[in-house]
A and B are shown apart, each in its own frame.
Chain A
Amino acid sequence: MFSAIYVEREVRDHPRTLAILDRYRELPLIECERYGEIFNRKAQNFRMQKDSQALILAHKHGRKVLPAPGGHGFGASPSHYFSHMLNCIYDCRYCFLQGMYRSAHCVLFVNFEDFADMIAQAISAGPPGQMFHSGYDCDSLALEPASGFARFFVPFFAQHPQAMLELRTKSTQIASLLQMKPVPNCIVAMSFTTEAAAQRWERDLPSVSKRIAALGRLQDAGWPIALRFEPLLPETEPQEYAELFERIFARLDAARVHSASTGVFRMPAGYFRKVLRLYPDEPLLARETRNENGIVSFRQRDEEAWLGELESSLFRHIDPASHYRCTN
């Protein structure tokens, strides 16, 4: 999967590092002082690096829990996000990480305990019901067999039932969750685009069918699950979404779905410009866009009607009260 592993000297002997190095014994191991000297250097090409992605094991310094951007998430309680990982092993053409980072390498911060301390502080300082999102700068579960992220954080949140954890993913790496007892305040939120969009714009990802199957197994085991239809891509007929919803709710018990969200493609203009420079030959990105207050989205004729029709077909399956439109 990876071409090499870079390790910060500081975490060279961390137990989590040692376990990961043991797993990837055959890969070249390269020591560095700080992950930034590899990850943040100039003259890198994200697109080319995707073909030989490396894993960087590092220590996260500074702030580890941040307020989630407005419009991200469900309900009125404060939302936070924390990033134990930067970047993703998957390759979705619409992903904003391509525009956010110079490097396509994945950085995994191994000091989970420090994240947990800061989350505990935020929980005790805030009201009950706060939401913590883990899949903002990465996919929460894609690297689970190596990182043990859920194995660590789910039990942690089990001890803090007054807060919620959202594991946002497109991955089917659910073995560690299935080995645990379901935790009511840990929600697995699976993202979907339509079958055609997934085949066209998502590389190296589990198929839509496999994602539905994984979510079904989690629900059967008693895990709270959620559905994320983000980003909604242009020129997708509402009928295609209606078919996707049919497939999903043929397998899942809609009444036990924690929430479902929809959200059109949106990307900060600076990131979009960078992604466009990386993929000047990409039809998806060449579509007509509009820029509103520095946020780029695709032009979609009659967007409100299109969204309305699409959401109505979703509401044939779920209670509209469990739906939110993501606007960030």
Chain B
Amino acid sequence: MHETTHETTHETMNKSARGTTRESVNGAVNLVVAHRPEAAPLLDWFDLTESRPRGRFRCYQGGDGIALTISGTGAHNAAAAVRHLHERQPEAHRAWLNVGIAGHRGEPLGTGLLINRIEHRRSGERHWPPVPRLGLPGSSLVSVDKPETEYPEDAAYDMEAAGFFAEASRLIASDLVYVFKIVSDNRASPLAELDLRRVPELIRLREREIRAIVEHLRQRCARFASCHTMPDEYPLLLGKCHFSATRKAMLAGLCRRGRALGMQQRLHTLAKQRFRDAGALLQAAEAALAAPAQAREAATGETGEGPR
């Protein structure tokens, strides 16, 4: 949004409270809002509790892979909050969603808009959030440094989305970074008349849409994570010898290959064997994943489950 109260606090996430298994299965989503009134309904819906110790930005976490941070006003703060939340989370694939209020010259108050184009007015940078088939009204958006009261373009106006999007899409494919805005002011009902106590109510109006976007992102992220997460055999094999960075990458490639070919059992068998060094292990893994007949000879004690 537009400026309300500046609410940047100093908190950090409680790392130990978070697990990754469930996130990988269901897909994890990080929510970023500018201010506490925008956060309130989301904390409630997704059952999020504050993470401690506090850091620069307040962060919240639920048991279901959803996290939230409150960035304060402006693109710079939004980008910093994204970084802050990311740095305090264990490594995982996570989608990002910026939810907040915005001005629009013509759209009625309470309209929910899935943003499909972001222009940062000061820098001129443009960003292109994805357009999923969710049947939600779309809009372009201009991120401004000062509250916009004239609404010169047929676009939504906020102060955070450009910073949020630029930073989040450095962390994950931009296809997993969405922006959803709810109209809080327009020409008929200008920003000066906005009662901040009404903000939670505006957000609540769009509960169905926000839940649908979060669920969509969770599914999308889960699909992405499930094919990019390393197979279980990888850490087992990695722990057996010392691997250089290059050999580590080779092992990762072989483990992925084994999984894609349905030959994880062969790698599992290898993980029970001893190897002189990483080179010998890689050689054995390659042999195990070679043509089915050869692999049966190379990897002992398994049944030849290769695809046909």
A contact set with B: CB distance below 8 Å: 3-4, 28, 30-32, 37-38, 41, 43-45, 48-49, 51-52, 54, 235, 279-283, 285-288, 301
Contacts and interface: CB of A to CB of B under 8 A. Distances in A.
B190 to A, nearest CB: 27
B175 A49 contact: yes
Nearest to A45: B173
Interface string B235-267: 000000000000000000000110111100000
A37 B227 contact: no
Given A286-B256, A288-B290, A43 B174 contact: yes
A44 B228 CA distance: 15
Interface stretch (B27-35, B41-49, B52-60, B126-134): B126-134
Given A30-B140, A48-B176, A48-B224, A41 B128 contact: yes
A37 B128 contact: yes
B169 A4 contact: no
B268 interface: no
A43 B173 contact: yes
Q: How large is the interface on B (under 10, 10 to 19, 20 to 34, 35 or more residues)?
A: 20 to 34
Nearest to A49: B175
A28 B174 contact: no
Contacts of A52: 130-133
Given A31-B117, A48-B176, 8 more contacts: A3-B133, A32-B117, A38-B128, A52-B131, A52-B132, A283-B307, A286-B256, A288-B290
Nearest to A52: B132
Contact of A281 (B130, B227, B290): B227
Contacts of B138: 4, 28, 30
B131 A28 contact: yes
Contacts of A3: 131-133
A4 B256 CA distance: 34
A282 B256 CA distance: 9
19 contacts: A4-B131, A4-B138, A30-B117, A32-B117, A37-B126, A43-B174, A44-B173, A45-B173, A45-B175, A45-B224, A48-B175, A52-B131, A279-B227, A281-B256, A281-B260, A282-B260, A283-B307, A286-B261, A288-B290
Interface string B122-165: 00001010111100001010000000000000000000000000
A281 B227 CA distance: 6
B8 interface: no
B86 interface: no
User: Quick one: which of A32, A280, A301 has the most chain B CB within 10 A?
Assistant: A280
B116 A30 contact: yes
A285 B260 contact: yes
A233 to B, nearest CB: 14
Contacts of B116: 4, 28, 30
Nearest to B308: A235
Contacts of A37: 126, 128
A42 to B, nearest CB: 8
A233 B164 CA distance: 44
Contacts of A38: 128
Interface string B67-103: 0000000000000000000000000000000000000
Nearest to B252: A280
A156 to B, nearest CB: 34
A301 B294 CA distance: 13
Contacts of B208: none
A32 B119 CA distance: 11
A32 B174 CA distance: 17
Contacts of A282: 260
Contacts of B128: 30, 32, 37-38, 41
B204 interface: no
B175 to A, nearest CB: 4
A283 B176 CA distance: 25
Contacts of A280: 227-228, 256, 259-260
A-B CB proximity, top 6 nearest: A286-B260, A45-B173, A4-B131, A281-B227, A48-B175, A28-B138
A87 to B, nearest CB: 15
Contacts of A283: 260-262, 307
B291 interface: yes
A34 B291 CA distance: 48
A99 to B, nearest CB: 16
Contacts of A235: 308
